[in-house]
């Protein structure tokens, strides 16, 4: 049980490092937008490559092509 | 502990958009893009994901086509809310953004970097969910010259970097406009900067409290286990000594706002919830520190830290919704065009609206918004003032008449003399009313704060009595027993009761398409006695549609409509929009527009006229009288023969009747409050069974009317959309802005309905009442728990560890009970 005298300070050290990191991340603006990032991590679908011919043309079915 | 957090961040598994299988049924009724009802006779669609999807208007159609055409269709699979209904596409809309190419104006919201690229910040209107940010970012990134596009959803702000050699500022604005969002320059101001700083410091405190809670909790488990199994004194002392600095850091850093707020209020003699909170945190921490140092008694570090964290979390979530409001704030000015055409040195030049001065001569083309109050010098036209007074038909103006900023010139170009600066205009007066409304909005005292004052007094009294009594009986125990009374009466549950319920209700509503902008409004809404509706655009669709055709000759209905549509194609008058979806007869020539009268055209060498009775009588002297006064009647005739009367009406929304009935069923008094002076208001009211109607009300009168009701003891909820509703939305106890509302109305409303379905009002009402029940249950539980536990503690029957556990459990129960407000459909129903 004497190991506690070593392990607990180490745990505290890690806690201090974690807090430091988190505060740094907040200050550098990484937590500015919680809503979007929470969604983005689950939906990172890239847009389909648009067909160069149909680009900027309306996709209304009655067009001639 | 994780309750409120999860409630907020549980992925939206809402009903919108409906899953693909279910959609085949619904596709016939609602617009795929904006979720509004599609008129049954309308045939507009866009192919998305290989299937034709119904659209409700040309605006939605254009936006959806653009999205589908640029390969961004998966936006529709990913979004969790319907989009806002965009206005009809109009090439001249793009022109208005040209002014941002002006370097002086552009410099107010953009910076040119050393490598020549430009960084600009835009504020976006109409962003409703995270998928919108994805759409905007990817769509902009595909433009040439754009090297970075990032949307901040919380602030609905776009940061873009582009090469001015390849891309113009105005094109970026125009592109966003085409996607169906409303861009405007983002100006940093002190309030926004403060909000940003506040947000970061809240987050820091929360982060420290969270990590501290985990750390102290770890030690606490060992300590609690030690109490049961037995623990050597040296290890107990060690665990207490390491908990002390961590808890101290949390108390002095994270919990500081509670102390400062309690002290600030106390100096003014006000007892608020923060006072018992500070007392509980401060005393429990001080006692634990004393116990650690003296090696006696009991420590409560874990409870102190957990309590701090939970309260900070609730406060953080609440404040976030307020800050969002601050960032998306719009004032009346933002509804004005940013550019104006003005005569300088005998030439028409485009200048920024801010540079207009009294006595300038401006040119307002047909279809443009009037930038400033002015007197007409040349030309005659009509101005559409529906956002000011709810009237559909524009007001005819001729030289000498005054036109007002924010109204739309419909018919023909006007030259006008600028009368006053913006600050003296009618629109600015409206803005001042809005600001007044904000100040005079009644603040119902929050139930929890009312309880707090006598709760504190009671606790302090009981604690003192306990300490004195035990001092007589057993002086050595007096301190610890008095402390356990304080700890057990710790108002965690009481303090969490309201915010936990409000946060969960707001989160549930957001998933159903209602944005809750001020959570406290839920409490006001649950107790409201009156529900007031605006007419135009709220109970009605807001656009004129054809309601009756009365042929006067032998021409059948379809031909009448086709002929009318062919003529109306040449008009920009609001009436013309009613005909825009009808197949037109071909072959009309020389169509001309007679301002204030109607249209004339040649077909097969015969002259046709469409317009007022007088206009038709010039061609056909025996043109009969309009059938009645309940509709807007337009005559159609051909040389020598009257053809038809076409009756237009602003049709009521499909769901209006159901909503009015449901609200009445909930015991609310329903009234109609409209700026329209015509008979349309009373007619609609009779249709819907509304008894009290106030028509022809100016924005200020509307506001005064609601204030009068409030003085008579009513709690008023208001539903509106126009500029003229903004002051009354601001002053009402709870207010709704429906979809398509002006930005100003939106920024004043407590609730914004995203998809334009009025049924959401009833749903919000129900949720608000359910929320009130949950708050009361929570408060009853918290008080009941304290009433039972305090006497036991005062008698010395409750060991300190039981006090700590009881305290945590009662908080968790309150959080859990509140989460019932947030029950949603299961995950598999989602489309993501």
Contact A31 B130 (CB under 8 A): no
Q: Which residues on chain B are in Cβ contact (under 8 Å) with A42?
A: 11, 832
The CA dihedral of B239, B241, B245, B250, to the nearest 10 degrees, is 50
Bigger pLDDT: B95 or B121?
B121
Contacts of B46 in chain A (CB under 8 A): 58-61
Contact (Cβ atoms closer than 8 angstroms) between residue B213 and residue B5: no
The number of domains in chain A is 1
Same domain, B264 and B397: no
Confirm whether B506 is domain-assigned: no
Poorest-pLDDT segment among A10-19, B321-330, B557-566:
B321-330
Q: Which strands sit side by side in the sheet containing B598-603, from one edge to the other? A: B540-551, B641-652, B632-638, B606-611, B598-603, B588-594
Instruction: Residue B333: count other Cβ atoms within 10 Å of its Cβ.
Output: 18
Give B822-831 pLDDT, tens digit per residue: 875 433 333 3
Q: Is residue B7 part of a domain?
A: no
Cβ B1 vs Cβ B306: under 8 Å: yes
Q: Count of domains in chain B?
A: 5
Q: Which contacts qualify for B203-207: CB closer than 8 Å, 24 or more apart? A: B203/A26, B203/A31, B203/B316, B204/A23, B204/A26, B205/B253, B205/B254, B205/B256, B205/B257, B205/B312, B206/B254, B206/B309, B206/B312, B206/B313, B206/B316, B207/A19, B207/A22, B207/A23, B207/A26
Question: Is there a single domain that holds both residue B672 and residue B765?
Answer: yes
Question: Residue B533 forms beta bridges with which residues?
Answer: B672, B719
Token output for B85: 């209904």
- Residue A1, chain B, CB below 8 Å: the answer is yes
Domain containing B621 — which CATH number?
3.40.1110.10
Residue A21 domain-assigned (yes or no): yes
Domain residues for B122?
A: 112-188
Check whether residue B361 and residue B478 sit in a common domain: no
Residue B208: name the closest of B246, B165, B176 by CA.
B246
Let me know if residue B2 belongs to a domain.
Answer: no
B666 and B628 together in one domain: no
Q: How confident is the model at residue A21 (pLDDT cuts 50, 70, 90)?
A: very high
Starting at the earlier edge strand, list the strands of the sheet with B381-384.
B395-397, B381-384, B408-409
Does the beta-carbon distance from B142 to A50 stay under 8 Å?
yes
Answer yes or no: is A62 within a domain: no
pLDDT at B35 over 90: no
User: Which pLDDT tens digit goes with each residue over B425-469?
Assistant: 888 888 787 777 777 666 655 677 777 777 778 887 888 898 899
In whole angstroms, what is the distance from residue B486 CA to residue B492 CA? Answer: 12
For B516-532, what is each residue's pLDDT tens digit?
A: 877 778 888 998 999 99
Q: Which of B724, B707, B695 is nearest to B434 (CA)?
A: B724
Of the given ranges (B495-499, B666-670, B721-725), which has the lowest mean pLDDT? B495-499
pLDDT digits (tens, 9 = 90+) for B687-739: 888 888 888 888 888 889 999 999 998 999 999 888 888 889 888 999 998 87
Look at residues B386, B437, B390 and name the one whose alpha carbon lies nearest to residue B407.
B386
The Cα of B202 is separated from the nearest Cα of chain A by a number of Å equal to 10
Work out the pLDDT band at B416, boundaries 50, 70, 90. very high
Q: What is the mean pLDDT of chain B?
A: 81
pLDDT (tens digit per residue) in B354-404: 788 888 899 888 777 888 899 999 888 888 887 777 677 788 888 988 898
User: How close is the nearest chain A Cα to the Cα of B71, in Å?
Assistant: 5
Helix (H) or strand (E) holding B726: helix B726-731
Is residue B14's pLDDT more than 50?
no
pLDDT at B446 (0 to 100): 66
Distance CA B259, CA B277 (A): 8
Helix (H, G, I), strand (E, B) or coil at B713: coil
pLDDT number for residue B397:
87
Q: Contact B64/B45 with Cβ under 8 angstroms?
A: no
Q: Which structure tokens are listed for B175?
A: 């592109």
Q: Where are the alpha helices (DSSP H) in B114-255?
A: 130-141, 169-178, 190-229, 233-249
* Residue A17: predicted pLDDT: 95
Higher pLDDT, B573 or B763: B763
Inter-chain CB proximity B65 and A60 less than 8 Å: yes
pLDDT digits (tens, 9 = 90+) for B355-369: 888 888 998 887 778
Residue B704 and residue B630 share a domain: no
ipTM of the prediction: 0.76
**Helix/strand/coil (H/E/C) assignment for every residue in B519-546:** CHHHHHHHCCCEEEECHHHHHEEEEEEE
| pLDDT band at residue B18 using 50, 70 and 90 as cut-offs | very low
Q: Residues of A numbered 6-65 whose beta carbons fall under 8 angstroms of chain B's beta carbons: which are they?
A: 8-9, 11-12, 15, 18-19, 22-23, 26-27, 31-36, 38-40, 42-43, 45-51, 54-61
What is the structure's pLDDT at B6? Answer: 37
Picking from A27, A47, A61, the nearest residue to B72 by CB comes out as A47
Q: Can you give the CATH number for the domain in which B117 is found?
A: 3.30.70.100
d(CA B506, CA B503): 5
Q: Could you tell me if B260 and B343 lie in one domain?
A: no
Residue to substitute from B6, B152, B207, interface A, most A β-carbons within 10 A? B207
Contacts of A63 in chain B (CB under 8 A): none
Write down the pLDDT at residue B736: 92
Asked which of B277-291, B558-572, B797-811 is least confident by mean pLDDT, the reply is B797-811
CATH of the domain at B743: 3.40.50.1000
| Residues spanned by the domain of A11 | 1-29
Residue B208 has pLDDT above 90, yes or no: yes
pLDDT in tens, B279-313: 878 888 988 898 899 887 778 898 889 888 888 88
Instruction: Determine what percent of chain B is predicted with pLDDT higher than 70.
Output: 91
Over range B551-580, report the average pLDDT.
Answer: 81
* Cβ–Cβ gap B200/A51 under 8 Å: no
Q: What is the three-class DSSP state of B787?
A: helix
Q: What pLDDT is stored for residue B832 in this prediction?
A: 31
Is pLDDT above 80 for B741? no
**Cβ contacts (< 8 Å) between A56 and chain B: which residues?**
66, 69-70
Nearest by Cα to B627 from B551, B686, B565: B551
């Amino acid at each position: 049980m004497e190991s506690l005298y070593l392990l607990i300070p180490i745990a505290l050290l890690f806690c201090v490092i974690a807090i430091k990191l988190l505060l740094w991340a907040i200050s550098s603006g990484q937590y500015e937008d919680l809503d979007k990032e929470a969604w983005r991590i689950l939906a990172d679908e890239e847009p389909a490559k648009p067909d160069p011919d149909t680009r900027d043309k309306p996709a209304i079915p009655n067009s001639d092509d | 502990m994780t309750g409120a957090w999860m409630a907020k961040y549980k992925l939206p598994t809402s009903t919108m958009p409906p899953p693909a299988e279910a959609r085949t049924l619904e596709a016939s009724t609602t617009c795929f893009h904006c979720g509004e009802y599609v008129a049954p006779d309308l045939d507009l669609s866009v192919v998305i994901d290989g299937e034709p999807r119904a659209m409700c208007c040309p605006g939605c159609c254009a936006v959806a086509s653009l999205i589908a055409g640029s390969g961004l269709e998966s936006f529709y699979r990913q979004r969790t809310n319907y989009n806002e209904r965009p206005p009809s596409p109009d090439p001249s809309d793009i022109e208005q953004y040209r002014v941002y190419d002006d370097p002086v104006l552009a410099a107010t919201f953009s910076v040119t970097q050393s490598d020549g690229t430009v960084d600009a910040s835009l504020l976006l209107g109409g962003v409703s969910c995270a998928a919108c940010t994805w759409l905007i970012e990817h769509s902009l990134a595909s433009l040439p010259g754009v090297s970075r596009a990032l949307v901040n959803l919380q602030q609905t702000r776009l940061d873009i970097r582009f090469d001015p050699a390849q891309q113009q500022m105005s094109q970026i604005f125009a592109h966003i406009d085409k996607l169906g969002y409303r861009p405007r320059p983002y100006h940093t101001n002190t309030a926004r900067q403060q909000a940003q700083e506040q947000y970061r410091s809240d987050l820091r405190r929360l982060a420290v409290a969270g990590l501290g809670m985990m750390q102290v909790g770890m030690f606490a488990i060992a300590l609690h286990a030690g109490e049961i199994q037995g623990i050597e004194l040296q290890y107990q002392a060690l665990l207490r000594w390491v908990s002390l600095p961590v808890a101290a850091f949390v108390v002095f850093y994270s919990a500081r706002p509670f102390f400062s707020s309690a002290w600030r209020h106390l100096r003014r003699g006000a007892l608020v919830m923060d006072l018992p909170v500070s007392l509980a945190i401060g005393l429990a921490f001080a006692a634990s520190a004393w116990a650690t140092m003296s090696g006696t008694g009991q420590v409560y570090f874990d409870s102190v830290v957990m309590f701090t964290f939970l309260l900070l979390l609730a406060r953080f979530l609440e404040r976030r919704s307020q800050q969002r409001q601050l960032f998306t704030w719009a004032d009346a000015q933002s509804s004005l065009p940013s550019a104006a055409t003005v005569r300088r040195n005998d030439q028409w030049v485009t200048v920024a609206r801010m540079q207009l001065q009294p006595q300038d001569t401006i040119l307002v083309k047909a279809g443009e918004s009037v930038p400033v109050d002015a007197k007409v010098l040349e030309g005659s036209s009509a101005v559409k003032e529906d956002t000011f007074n709810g009237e559909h038909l524009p007001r005819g103006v001729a030289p000498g008449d005054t036109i007002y900023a924010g109204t739309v010139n419909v018919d023909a170009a006007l030259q006008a003399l600028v009368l006053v600066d913006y600050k003296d205009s009618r629109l600015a007066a409206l803005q001042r009313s809005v600001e007044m409304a904000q100040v005079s909005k009644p603040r119902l005292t929050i139930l929890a704060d009312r309880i707090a004052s006598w709760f504190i007094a009671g606790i302090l009294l009981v604690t003192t009595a306990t300490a004195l009594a035990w001092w007589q009986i057993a002086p050595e125990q007096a301190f610890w027993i008095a402390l356990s009374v304080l700890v057990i009466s710790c108002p965690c549950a009481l303090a969490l009761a309201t915010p936990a319920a409000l946060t969960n209700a707001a989160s549930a509503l957001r998933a159903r398409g209602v944005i809750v902008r001020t959570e406290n409004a839920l409490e006001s809404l649950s107790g409201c006695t009156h529900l007031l509706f605006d007419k135009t655009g709220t109970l009605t669709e807001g656009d004129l549609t054809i309601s009756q055709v009365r042929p006067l000759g032998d021409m059948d209905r379809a031909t009448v409509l086709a002929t009318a549509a062919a003529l109306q194609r040449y008009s920009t008058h609001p009436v013309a929009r009613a005909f825009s979806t009808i197949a037109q007869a071909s072959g009309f020539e020389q169509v001309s527009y007679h301002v204030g009268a109607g249209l004339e055209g040649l077909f097969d060498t015969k002259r046709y006229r469409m317009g007022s009775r007088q206009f038709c009588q010039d061609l056909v002297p025996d043109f009969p009288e309009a059938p009645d006064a309940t509709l807007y009647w337009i005559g159609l005739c051909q040389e020598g023969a009257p053809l038809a009367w076409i009756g237009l009406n602003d049709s009521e929304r499909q769901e209006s009747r159901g909503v009015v009935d449901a609200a009445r069923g909930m015991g609310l008094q329903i009234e109609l409050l409209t700026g329209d002076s015509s008979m349309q208001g009373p007619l609609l009211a009779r249709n819907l069974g509304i008894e009290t109607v106030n028509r022809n009300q100016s924005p200020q009168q509307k506001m005064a009317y609601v204030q009068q009701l409030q003085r008579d003891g009513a709690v008023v909820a208001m539903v509106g959309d126009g500029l003229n509703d903004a002051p009354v939305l601001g002053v009402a106890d709870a207010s709704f802005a429906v979809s398509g509302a002006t930005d100003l109305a939106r920024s004043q409303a407590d609730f914004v309905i995203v998809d334009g379905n009025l049924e959401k009002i009833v749903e919000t009402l129900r949720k608000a009442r359910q929320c009130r029940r949950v708050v009361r249950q929570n408060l009853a539980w918290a008080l009941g728990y304290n009433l039972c536990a305090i006497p036991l503690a005062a008698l010395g029957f409750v060991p300190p560890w039981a006090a700590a556990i009881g305290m945590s459990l009662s908080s968790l129960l309150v959080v859990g009970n509140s989460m019932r407000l947030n029950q949603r459909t299961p995950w598999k129903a989602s489309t993501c």
